[in-house]
């Protein structure tokens, strides 16, 4: 038989094109159905292809295109992120090949079958995920398989270690680098922006890298960005931290635990948030950021991420176990998660609350102030020179005498004052109380969703401003909160959601659930 | 405060455009980043949007577009399948809204948490999946959560029933409608194309609807298509079946258990194939096709889907339990799955094998003939007038005297003789034995993969033709099999794969694993 290979085959190539489509954390390649070289449909059901050129390669999901205006017959197009990952220029020659399923999917299938995975398994899985070898469906399979009922403490440790090893690690060359982190789920809970200036003013090193919101209406980075530049390169970052002892920047550029960002992008929209994944996600990020001492805030409430004290205690033990093994000094506090903290929900509104507290403004939300002082006090007590129980009073003194505000302003100046103005959204509407009574419940999840629909965090002036908190008396038709939006379509979406469910329950004082927590 | 809603908001609409991109079983919507009406990025992280117009609506994953040549600022584009699902015309007005996560995802999250779901839960999940409310990541989450360790027998029954109810159901108005089905995984195993003519020649009703290959190199529909038209509408189908007592058509147009097609499109590339899913998939399809009597073939072998007899027995019990509850008379046979059946792998090669057997050609692969006769015999014994144990001899008589061939030709004529010619691929290459010895193993999975890489099933003439089977002696450099391809790129991929691993093991007679199965 003839074996007519090799002559023309290895030169069979397509011209690379960057297609202006943002496919959100998934590499997508586009081939014309009648592509001159490859049988596009033959690849499709197998879900992934390998795109190679000039000794670089990526894996991508294949979409078949029927319009030569999008992709010509001699071209291969990549979505924006995929194009960046491959790192070649338009017009360079690329070849397409069958993608081997990632080798570590064998381990995922063992996990699905209920078996325990070892350290090497987690390493391989996280490496393959970091190198974009997993499709979103494969990531989903891993997340579910390693979900809450199925990962023991040591597996959580292996996963954390693997995620930590997947990226860069910051080194501050100091014996004590402190941080605090909340597991999330409580809108408006912007205590970090108070804890950092208080603790830095005391002289402890607290270089805070944080994320932007994914499915919540504001992250610390989104809120800080109302006041200052948060996209700082590593060189400048060290400079700022050395001088100011603290910072509040977006951690996205630093490649800290990059696997975490990929996992979260699938996990959040699925609404699954297992304890093991949460611990691995938080601790890998904090260890990568160079923290030696960490305070974890676990809010408990009917509409918080953690709904029962027993769950909170279980999560606390898991944090402690993994933290101890990875040599980070870790304290866990369980807090009141029954309602949003502060008044504002959304970047501009939350930034306003924070600045009011720092300025000792009488309008400042007292719950935010008290919680921040209490957390800052616990962080201050990581200092060997601070006597146990004295932290709160020290934090209060630093705040009251204006040193925290001074430090905040210095950090803002160092990072670069925000030159854009972010006024509150021009579209506004008040949601009124349906009856006389007291506020007996505020649904964290619904309030976050309303603020999100209104445009937060992308539109910084969008969100919700709460006028009434738990236990406060209200009269019929008195405003409960005000909705702010910048765009008519968002305003309409948020109003429709408020009409469906305002997020507030009005009843009698006795109906209020009691909180049995430290704060 | 002003409440500037309603006037212009509800008319805020975009022009619908069909984008020539085939996103394979997932609805994708495309919005320009600077869309005039909606903030595209605000939707993206939440993974899905609702597209509505003219009282029709679909859910879709959102891709953000930066190129107005793909989507203009006042347009909303849909991928081809999404456009068809929505069912509107280009240029019609559509609105975009936040998609509620499908309500049944709550049940999926309960399943992830290890709980048992009830009948209503499975109904809701399957209904949401059928109506394209699940993204692929959500489907993946459901598949993994309901995977093998986590679904009890009654849950499998609920799932089967829900899948059955999700689509149409054929009614043949006869007391006995027989079928046979293999769970798959064995290349070349085209026994259905022999069982149908034999059984129909006997006069029993066997209207076979089958699938096209998804990740295998050929399905019965792909192979039958080499000989006859397989895309038959329901009206004509009844006509053919009434006259011929049998048919072999593609079931895709009939909307039988449509949820199954969606689940399989995610499950196969993931390489997860849980017993519960398999039973629900097969039985829902067969019940929807109107079968009253069903023979299930479970091949067992080291490279088959089922690797151990204990697994095969467990699967058999599950089939029997669910089949009994759903009132289908079901027989399970466990067969030798150590190697491919017949010689050819790929549509044209498999069709050749089938026709050789029907023509009593001395070159016909005997293993395919024997297995088909044995299965046909078991199906014939569903006939109350056939004495137990007499089926095999009856089947053999029908085949030997040419009645099966006659029936096959009649069915081909009734469905419409294939007008295209499908010769074997022009690119061919022989894979040679590396040493003297006997064939001790043939890897089903690898042979299927090689044939698939060579272009099967899309290129009907592509595939693999086996010259040596288990136990046959070979000399060094004697051909083991021949590779056929139609396209140079596929030929190259397949050759590279053969070089990696030929799929054959050459050793001593004593190394051959024994098969302890019924056939």
- Number of other CB atoms surrounding residue A119 within 10 Å: 14
Structure token digits, residue B18: 């069909």
The widest CA-to-CA distance across chain B, in whole angstroms, is 91
pTM: 0.87
pLDDT of residue A310: 92
H-assigned helices in B104-257: 105-112, 119-130, 136-145, 153-165, 192-202, 220-227, 234-244
Number of H helices, E strands in chain B: 18, 19
Q: Do A42 and B97 touch (CB under 8 A)?
A: no
B227 phi, psi to nearest 5 deg:
-100, -35
Residue A229 CA to residue A331 CA, distance in Å, equals 30
Q: Do A149 and B113 touch (CB under 8 A)?
A: yes
The widest CA-to-CA distance across chain A, in whole angstroms, is 91
Residue B309 CA to residue B311 CA, distance in Å, equals 5
Neighbouring-strand partners of residue B437: B474
Residue A410 CA to residue A201 CA, distance in Å, equals 10
Residue A496 CA to residue A431 CA, distance in Å, equals 12
Neighbouring-strand partners of residue A350: none
pLDDT of residue A12: 56
Least confident span in A142-156, A295-309, B59-73, B232-246: A142-156
Q: Which residues of chain B have pLDDT under 50?
A: 1-10
> Which residue in the set B20, B144, B490 is minimally distant from A65, CB to CB?
B20
Neighbouring-strand partners of residue B463: B484
The residue among A459, A480, A501 whose CA lies nearest residue A222 is: A459
**Contact assessment for residue B295 and residue B176, using Cβ atoms and an 8 Å cutoff:** no
Whole-number mean pLDDT of chain A?
Answer: 92
**Contact assessment for residue A246 and residue A199, using Cβ atoms and an 8 Å cutoff:** yes
Residue B248 CA to residue B250 CA, distance in Å, equals 7
Rounded to a whole number of angstroms, the distance from the CA of A22 to the nearest CA of chain B is 5
Q: Do A488 and B430 touch (CB under 8 A)?
A: no
What's the 3-state SS for A91-133?
CCEEEEEECCCCCCHHHHHHHHCCCCCCHHHHHHHHHHHHCCC
Ranges assigned E (strand) in B338-477: 344-345, 427-432, 437-442, 463-466, 473-474
In three-state secondary structure terms, A486 is coil
Top residue of A17, A111, A262, A270 to mutate, by most chain B CBs within 10 Å, is A270
- Number of other CB atoms surrounding residue B253 within 10 Å: 14
| Catalytic site residue from B273, B297, B353, B459 | B273
pLDDT of residue A125: 97
Determine if the peptide bond prior to A309 is cis (ω within 30°). Answer: no
Structure token digits, residue A89: 């220029």
Mean pLDDT, rounded, for A410-424: 96
Structure token digits, residue A476: 């019929």
A428 phi, psi to nearest 5 deg:
-140, 150
Residues listed for chain A: 519
CATH architecture designation of domain A427-511: Alpha-Beta Complex (3.90)
- Per-domain residue ranges of chain A: 14-98, 178-257+284-415, 427-511
pLDDT of residue B519: 66
Under DSSP, the state recorded for A228 is: B
**Contact assessment for residue A447 and residue A458, using Cβ atoms and an 8 Å cutoff:** no
CA dihedral B340, B341, B342, B345 (to 10 degrees): -50
| Catalytic site residue from A128, A273, A353, A443 | A273
The burial of A160, by beta-carbon neighbours within 10 Å (0-12 exposed, 13-18 middle, 19 or more buried), is given as buried
**Residues 23 to 62 of B: which have CB under 8 A from any A CB?**
23-24, 30, 33, 37-39, 41-42, 44-48
**Residues 129 to 188 of A: which have CB under 8 A from any B CB?**
135-141, 143-145, 147-149
- Give the residue carrying structure tokens 């006509």: B239
Mean pLDDT, rounded, for A357-361: 98
The residue among B346, B119, B97 whose CA lies nearest residue A500 is: B97
Do the strands B293-300 and B178-182 form a parallel or antiparallel pair, or are they unpaired? parallel
Residue A166, pLDDT > 60, answer: yes
- Give the residue carrying structure tokens 């024997």: B370
In three-state secondary structure terms, A470 is coil
CA dihedral B287, B289, B293, B295 (to 10 degrees): -90
Segment A92-138, tens digit of pLDDT: 999 998 887 788 999 999 998 888 999 999 999 999 999 888 888 89
B174 phi, psi to nearest 5 deg:
-135, 150
**Residues 272 to 331 of B: which have CB under 8 A from any A CB?**
272, 274
Residue B384 touches chain A, beta carbons under 8 Å:
no
pLDDT of residue B99: 81
In three-state secondary structure terms, A146 is coil
**Contact assessment for residue A203 and residue A332, using Cβ atoms and an 8 Å cutoff:** no
Residue A2, pLDDT > 60, answer: no
ipTM exceeds 0.95, yes or no:
no
Q: Does B105-165 match B427-511 in CATH topology?
A: no
pLDDT of residue A49: 87
Q: Which residues of A touch B45 (CB under 8 A)?
A: 24, 214-215, 265, 268-269
pLDDT of residue B176: 97
Neighbouring-strand partners of residue A334: A298
**Contact assessment for residue B293 and residue B329, using Cβ atoms and an 8 Å cutoff:** yes
> Which residue in the set A136, A489, A491 is minimally distant from B38, CB to CB?
A489
Residue B248 CA to residue B220 CA, distance in Å, equals 8
Contacts 24+ apart (CB under 8 A), B408-413: B408/B193, B408/B197, B408/B355, B408/B358, B410/B244, B411/B196, B411/B197, B411/B200, B411/B228, B411/B240, B411/B244, B411/B246, B411/B247, B411/B248, B412/B227, B412/B228
Least confident span in A41-45, A149-153, B207-211: A41-45
Residue A499 touches chain B, beta carbons under 8 Å:
no
**Residues 450 to 469 of B: which have CB under 8 A from any A CB?**
452-453, 455, 458-459
Residue B43 CA to residue B35 CA, distance in Å, equals 12
Radius of gyration of chain B (CA): 25
Q: Do B21 and A64 touch (CB under 8 A)?
A: yes
Which CATH class, in words, describes the domain spanning B178-415?
alpha beta
Residue A330 CA to residue A378 CA, distance in Å, equals 11
Structure token digits, residue A329: 């000094």
Least confident span in A239-253, A349-363, A391-405: A239-253
The residue among A170, A169, A111, A135 whose CA lies nearest residue A262 is: A135
Rounded to a whole number of angstroms, the distance from the CA of A103 to the nearest CA of chain B is 12
pLDDT of residue A44: 66
A290 phi, psi to nearest 5 deg:
90, 15
Four-way CATH pick for A14-98: 1.10.238.10, 3.40.50.300, 2.40.40.20, 2.120.10.90: 2.40.40.20
Segment A274-283, tens digit of pLDDT: 899 999 999 9
**Contact assessment for residue B344 and residue B350, using Cβ atoms and an 8 Å cutoff:** yes
Q: How many CA atoms lie within 13 A of A478 on its CB side?
A: 15
- Give the Å distances, CA to CA, from B342 to A360, A499, B365, B443: 84, 66, 5, 14
**Residues 59 to 98 of B: which have CB under 8 A from any A CB?**
63-67, 69-70, 79-80, 97-98
In three-state secondary structure terms, A71 is coil
pLDDT of residue A47: 63
pLDDT of residue A377: 97
Dihedral sign computed on CA atoms, order A481, A487, A493, A495: positive
Residues listed for chain B: 519
Q: How many CA atoms lie within 13 A of B395 on its CB side?
A: 28
- Give the residue carrying structure tokens 């991420």: A305
H-assigned helices in B291-402: 309-325, 347-358, 366-380, 391-400
Q: Do A482 and B1 touch (CB under 8 A)?
A: yes
pLDDT of residue B102: 86
Number of H helices, E strands in chain A: 18, 19
Rounded to a whole number of angstroms, the distance from the CA of B293 to the nearest CA of chain A is 32
**Contact assessment for residue B480 and residue B468, using Cβ atoms and an 8 Å cutoff:** yes
Neighbouring-strand partners of residue A57: A52
The residue among B166, B198, B203 whose CA lies nearest residue B180 is: B198
CA dihedral A193, A198, A199, A201 (to 10 degrees): 120
Which CATH class, in words, describes the domain spanning B105-165?
mainly alpha
State yes or no: is A273 an active-site residue.
yes
Rounded to a whole number of angstroms, the distance from the CA of B270 to the nearest CA of chain A is 6
Q: Do A265 and B145 touch (CB under 8 A)?
A: no
CATH code of domain A178-257+284-415: 3.40.1030.10
């Amino acid at each position: 038989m003839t074996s007519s290979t090799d002559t023309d085959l290895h030169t069979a190539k397509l011209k690379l094109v960057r297609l202006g489509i943002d496919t959100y954390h998934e590499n997508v390649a586009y081939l014309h159905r009648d592509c001159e070289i490859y049988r596009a449909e033959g690849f499709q059901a197998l879900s992934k292809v390998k795109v190679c050129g000039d000794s670089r390669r990526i894996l991508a999901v294949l979409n078949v295109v029927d319009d030569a205006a999008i992709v010509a017959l001699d071209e291969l197009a990549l979505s924006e992120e995929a194009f960046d990952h491959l790192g070649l220029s338009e017009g360079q020659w690329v070849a397409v090949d069958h993608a081997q399923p990632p080798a570590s999917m064998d381990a995922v299938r063992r996990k699905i079958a209920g078996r325990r995975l070892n350290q090497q398994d987690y390493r391989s899985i996280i490496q393959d995920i970091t190198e974009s070898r997993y499709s979103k469906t494969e990531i989903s399979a891993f997340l579910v398989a390693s979900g809450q009922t199925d990962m023991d403490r040591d597996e959580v440790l292996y996963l954390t270690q693997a995620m930590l090893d997947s990226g860069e690690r910051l080194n501050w060359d100091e014996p004590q680098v402190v941080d605090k982190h909340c597991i999330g789920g409580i809108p408006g809970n912007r205590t970090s922006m108070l804890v950092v200036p208080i603790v830095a003013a005391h002289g402890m090193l607290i270089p805070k890298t944080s994320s932007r919101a994914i499915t919540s209406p504001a992250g610390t980075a989104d809120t800080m960005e109302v006041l200052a530049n948060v996209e700082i390169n590593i060189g400048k970052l060290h400079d700022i931290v050395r001088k100011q002892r603290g910072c509040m920047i977006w951690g996205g550029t630093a490649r800290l635990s990059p696997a975490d960002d990929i996992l979260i992008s699938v996990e959040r929209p699925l609404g699954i948030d297992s304890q093991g994944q949460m611990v691995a996600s938080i601790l890998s990020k904090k260890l990568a950021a160079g923290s030696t001492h960490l305070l974890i805030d676990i809010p408990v409430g009917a509409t918080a991420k953690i709904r029962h004290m027993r769950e909170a205690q279980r999560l606390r033990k898991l944090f402690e176990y993994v933290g101890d093994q990875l040599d980070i000094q870790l304290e866990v506090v369980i807090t009141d998660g029954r309602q949003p903290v502060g008044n504002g929900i959304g970047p501009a509104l939350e930034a306003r609350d924070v600045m009011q507290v720092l300025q000792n403004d009488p309008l400042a939300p007292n719950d935010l102030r008290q919680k921040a002082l209490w957390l800052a006090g616990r962080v201050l007590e990581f200092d060997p020179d601070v006597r146990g129980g004295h932290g709160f009073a020290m934090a209060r003194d630093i705040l009251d005498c204006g040193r925290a505000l001074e430090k905040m302003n210095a950090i803002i100046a160092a990072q670069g004052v925000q030159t854009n103005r972010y006024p509150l959204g021009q579209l506004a509407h008040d949601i009124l109380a349906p009856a006389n009574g007291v506020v007996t419940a505020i649904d964290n999840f619904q309030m976050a969703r309303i603020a999100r629909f209104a445009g937060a965090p992308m539109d910084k002036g969008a969100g919700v401003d709460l006028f009434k908190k738990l236990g406060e008396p209200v009269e019929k038709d008195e405003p409960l909160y005000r909705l702010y939006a910048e765009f008519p379509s968002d305003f309409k979406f948020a109003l429709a959601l408020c009409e469906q469910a305002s997020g507030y329950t009005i009843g009698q004082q006795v109906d209020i659930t009691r909180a049995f927590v430290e704060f």
